[in-house]
A = this chain, B = another copy of it.
Amino acid sequence: MDLNRAGPVLCFGEVLLRLSASPGVRLSMAAHLNVHVGGAEANVGAALAALGRRVEMVTALPVGQLGDLCAAELRRAGLNIEFTIRGEGRLGTYFLEHGVGARPAAIVYDRAGSLFSKAAHPFDWPALAGKAGWFHVSGINLAIGPESSNRALAAVAAMRGEGVPVSFDVNHRASMWVDRASEAGKLEAQIMGATDLLFASARDICRALGCDVPEATAQGRRAAAQAAFDAFPSVRAIVSTRRDIASDGSSMLTVRVDDRETAHETDATPVGPVIDRIGTGDAMAGAIIDAVMRGAGIHEIARVGVAAAVLKHGVAGDQWVGSAAELEAFHGKRQGDVLR
């Protein structure tokens, strides 16, 4: 399989309207909400576009001004929408309250019954596969519901059939699986079986394989990765992250990449002051997909991944805004605190 195949990266998933209160304002007090457009796969696509990749967002948006808003914002973020379907229905929405200190960020989802979650969108997967250079999908497609799950499975199957590399971010959110918790692992495993580049924790792997979660050590993590490599022959690399909380409440991020031969973990990297926690994993995934597409080794993969994840914390909105040069400079020598 050619990891640098011609054609755009296709990002497939739901696009959400995000409405966030300003820092320090609880949702229950909000007089104003900031508007952003998000969604895990769109966020990955935005990071890829920022790094110079051609990206097509494959999704369904409502006709009308709210759908227009999403389409415009996707384009602004560098994604193309040639394969985006428009239809009658509602737009999935989420409300975000930023965390402060000891109070975690909080999300109120209002996405049930969205247009995207409906079964009947006429995506032509074989045709799309014929044009695609890469395909990215997250497990949120599986969590949305049975129709959405089936659609994601069909999409991935079509991609494999055409030799399109597939990246899959498990992105397991227990609150979205409440009614179908027992199905999650099985569905996730089905996508893993068609994946080249897997974003998954040891816990994700064990949910898919039905194994016990190993202890939180380097050996445990390697054991989980090895189990995934054994079970899923197409998987070439597995990316996982770890967030450690220091005693003063600040966070440190570590990115780990396992390939079939070996593994590499970055240093625990301080996150620093946070503007926006959402989409940090998606920024990392975008940077890593880009690195894999250009044939980078696992050190480089982990390096750009942690840089993108940490830098995303400093950008408002779901999506990272930056450049390859900034990822590069992240690990360089600190030149000063103002770039003139």
Contact = CB atoms under 8 A, between A and B. Distances in A.
Interface of A: 19, 23-35, 64-66, 68-69, 72-73, 75-78, 90-91, 93, 95, 97, 99-110, 112-113, 173, 175-176, 243, 245, 247-251, 270-278, 310-311, 313-317, 321-322, 326, 330, 334-340
B24 A315 contact: yes
A139 to B, nearest CB: 13
A173 B97 CA distance: 34
Nearest to A101: B272
Contacts of A337: 99, 104-105, 243, 251, 277
Contacts of A338: 99, 104-107, 277-278
Contact of A19 (B19, B75, B339): B19
Nearest to A323: B68
15 contacts: A19-B33, A28-B66, A29-B321, A32-B34, A65-B106, A66-B95, A101-B270, A101-B272, A102-B272, A104-B334, A104-B335, A105-B337, A105-B338, A113-B113, A277-B338
B31 A35 contact: yes
Contacts of A313: 100-101
A69 B30 contact: yes
Given A27-B65, A66-B27, A248-B270, A110 B95 contact: no
Given A32-B33, A66-B95, A104-B337, 5 more contacts: A26-B315, A28-B66, A33-B35, A100-B315, A273-B273
Contacts of A108: 64-66
Contact of A29 (B72, B102, B247, B335): B72
What is the total number of copies of this protein in its complex?
6
B19 A101 contact: no
A62 to B, nearest CB: 9
B270 A104 contact: no
Contact of A275 (B24, B64, B93, B310): B24
| Residue from A25, A78, A93, A275 having most chain B Cβ neighbours under 10 A | A275
A175 B25 CA distance: 31
Q: Nearest 8 CB-CB pairs, A to B? A: A101-B272, A100-B314, A24-B275, A76-B76, A28-B68, A27-B65, A24-B316, A28-B65
Contacts of A321: 26, 28-29
Contacts of A97: 65
Given A26-B321, A29-B321, A314-B101, A340 B72 contact: no
Nearest to A319: B29
A97 B91 CA distance: 17
B103 A311 contact: yes
